[in-house]
Chain A
């Protein structure tokens, strides 16, 4: 089934909010963009293509997203940095049983203090989006990244 125009616009808004919360917004608000029983992972393309399950970040619920946010904010030690997500056009793969499947490319730039901005991570989002509690949320977001050699650390979600 094709995805209606109104729904497409609503999905664009969800994705824009996602980038905003990670780059400039309140990280604590980011998990609310996912359903309670969501699956979120950041996985190297090498593993994804070979069917190897090991992910760089693996969260099996909104609770695990919240735990990661708390670790980033309260227990981890890292240099301050800015991230900037740039997302490409969203390719709608279909809508069935209330689930929209979509795919899009992304680039994340990273800026460390006293260093020039650099391309940090590029890849694609594989998404399943559902209506939940009156708004759209990700039921599943897999970030498959091409940039397998990570420049030092991956602190914030992709």
Chain B
């Protein structure tokens, strides 16, 4: 437990409202436990994986929702299932391979066997041995399957929920659905590869980072130098009615100094790439050269020029989260487009020219807030409301996120 006031019930959000974020929200393990229940396993559709990762019957892949391990499977009828990776018998995390193909899952401890939908199919010695032991007469396999989640798939992306009450996915996304469909337009998806990093900060700082265009034009010298993202680019932020989802959209500008860069102390106008093939973007979408979609509770859909990636947030503790990247393209991509995506991936991930800055600053944030749970951050750029804005000099969508967060968490 970190902080002077240890009891969750004692936590009070600052009176000012969503333009303040108390630092205990990033450090208190009791808050983290409640987040796992209410944010990740409550009323929301959580990202699990891409359907193209399990194309064949019997294919499976491990994933996670919050701190809970799950397995995404393709059953023999072609349906997608998401089950808890926790044996119904004694709780063993039965699936060890990260991915694979199987007809059934067998727990290594007592060899309880499940089909791809999570139904319990076999219990060794259920009838005892030599008329001794065994399960009671009224033990029924159908009462002891794996915990199954509700699943939805839209244009190749798989989401699941523990909730019986959450609205259909399309309704859940609200106005963000159009931004989701912009990237996932029904074309087949191809996984280009994975990247994983353990970031020593609270998971919410990742959402804040992507919802915060204010920093992008200041922290990311690389992006700004090459005009990939600047304060004077045509840009906007949009939220859904709850504030839980948002999108940041921007269009590429020029590599030159301007009013918008004069506040940047270290802009390198003279910086030229020795090998310009690194940045050879081709426009793919009608609106925007960058669109970062943040979907409650655990997904960032990244479209930065020609890099497309799912950033899956997997919290480990109040102090750390795994960021699991799945880079992908379309099955209609030619070889040149695939190479372009792979080259531009140098900007993203744990060694990215841009995203290194973010991961490093998140660690510094955590280091800064850890000893001061009762202090609070200030979010007043672009006003104190959580509204749509047609520029990037704003923290509006972070305020939207915390508006919903406070509702869900009861703070």
Contact = CB atoms under 8 A, between A and B. Distances in A.
Contacts of A57: 346, 351
B200 A152 contact: yes
B35 interface: no
Contact of B278 (A67, A77, A148): A67
B345 interface: yes
B193 interface: yes
Contact of B275 (A43, A54, A60, A78): A60
B27 interface: no
Contact of A79 (B277, B345, B360): B360
A149 B345 contact: no
Interface string A67-79: 1101100111111
Contacts of A71: 222, 353
A53 B329 CA distance: 12
A62 B273 CA distance: 12
Contacts of B356: 76-78, 153-155
A90 interface: no
Interface in A75-112: 75-79
- For chain B, the bracket of interface size reads 35 or more
Contact of A149 (B191, B197, B268, B360): B197
Contact of A76 (B277, B357, B364): B357
A126 interface: no
Interface in B108-144: none
Interface string B179-205: 000000000000111111111100000
B193 A58 contact: no
Interface string A30-55: 00000000000011101100001111
A150 B355 CA distance: 13
B327 interface: yes
Interface in B200-236: 200, 219, 221-222, 225
A68 B98 CA distance: 32
Interface string A128-153: 00000000000000000000111111
A149 B361 CA distance: 19
B246 to A, nearest CB: 24
Given A67-B278, A77-B221, A150-B350, 18 more contacts: A44-B193, A44-B196, A52-B193, A53-B338, A54-B342, A58-B346, A60-B277, A60-B343, A61-B275, A68-B353, A75-B225, A75-B268, A76-B221, A77-B360, A78-B356, A149-B198, A150-B197, A150-B198
14 contacts: A44-B193, A46-B193, A54-B193, A54-B194, A56-B195, A63-B274, A66-B275, A68-B346, A71-B353, A75-B221, A76-B353, A76-B357, A78-B356, A149-B198
Interface of B: 98, 191-200, 219, 221-222, 225, 266, 268, 271, 273-275, 277-278, 322, 327, 338, 342-343, 345-346, 349-351, 353, 356-357, 359-361, 363-364
The 10 A-B residue pairs with the shortest CB-CB distance in the complex, in nearest-first order: A54-B193, A63-B275, A63-B274, A52-B193, A47-B193, A75-B221, A154-B351, A75-B222, A150-B350, A54-B192
